[in-house]
Amino acid sequence: MTIVYGVLIFFLMMWPLWTLWFLIRDRKKLGKPAHKAKFGSLYAGHRTKSFKTLMYNAVFAVRRFDLVLINVFFTAGSPLSGVERSWYLQKILSFLVIQIAYLSYIHITKPHEESIFNTLEFVNEYALMALAYLMINFTTIVSLRDAESGDVIPSSEKLNLTVEYMAIGVIAFMVVVNFGIMVRLSVKKIAHSCKKKKMMKLHAAQMERQ
């Protein structure tokens, strides 16, 4: 089983590097239709004129891998760490460190060609950070102690309920923003398609008159 985990981790570590190497190698071909038809899913909608933006897929993949890795590592019975109980605070703090690094990269490079997708990424990632901060409420780091006995006082139900409502509010905000942008882009695409068809009909009518 250890060998299987080792092979899997090795593959997941090499995939982003291979993707980055492939994009750098074919950098001059990325704009060609034939290359886009075959490999466009690797960089469609991304800026490809600089090395920093070409790194987007690799950075995104490494971030996802790291998130899975820390979740497995700090979970009870993990074959990687052997911890006896799940360490939720460590999971949250590790997630926040990864998010800060990822958002720093996004702020510096703005990898998406359309600014609306860069904005959407900021909204989603900062919202996830807000959720992580809210989840800290359910760890022992925010526990209070009785002044006389020194015993730990668990978080009140009212506080927990408030945090839960705040988390629901953040999730609802993410859903509304993402759905709104999706609708906006769909309407824009439909309008562009209708305009194109109208122009084609006008052009065809002019050709018939001639």
Residue 206 has pLDDT above 80, yes or no: no
pLDDT band (50, 70, 90) for residue 210: low
Residue 144 has pLDDT above 90, yes or no: no
Of the CA atoms within 13 Å of residue 210, those in its CB half-sphere come to 6
pLDDT at 36: 78
Dist CA 45 CA 36 (whole Å): 11
The two tokens of residue 75 are: 């979970």
Read off the pTM. Answer: 0.78
Nearest to 132 by CA among 89, 69, 73, 196: 89
pLDDT band (50, 70, 90) for residue 50: confident
pLDDT at 170: 96
pLDDT band (50, 70, 90) for residue 43: confident
For range 22-49, the mean pLDDT: 80
183: CB partners within 8 A, 6+ apart:
none
* Alpha-helix runs per DSSP H in the chain: 2-25, 33-39, 51-54, 56-73, 88-109, 115-135, 157-209
**What phi and psi, each to the nearest 5 degrees, are found at residue 46?**
-105, 150
Element (H, E) at 152: strand 152-153
152: CB partners within 8 A, 6+ apart:
140, 143, 144, 145, 146
Whole-angstrom CA distances from 4 to 32, 64, 75, 137 are: 39, 20, 19, 37
**Does residue 56 or residue 48 have the better pLDDT?**
56
pLDDT at 140: 67
pLDDT at 145: 59
For range 43-54, the mean pLDDT: 83
Kindly list the domain boundaries of the chain, sorted by start residue: 1-115, 143-210
Tens digits of residue pLDDT in 87-143: 888 899 999 999 999 999 999 999 998 889 999 999 999 999 999 999 988 886 766
Residue 153 is given by DSSP the state E
Residue 164 has pLDDT above 70, yes or no: yes
First to last CA, the chain: 75
Q: Helix, strand or coil for residue 8?
A: helix
Dist CA 187 CA 208 (whole Å): 32
Residue with tokens 């593959």: 11
Residue 65 has pLDDT above 90, yes or no: no
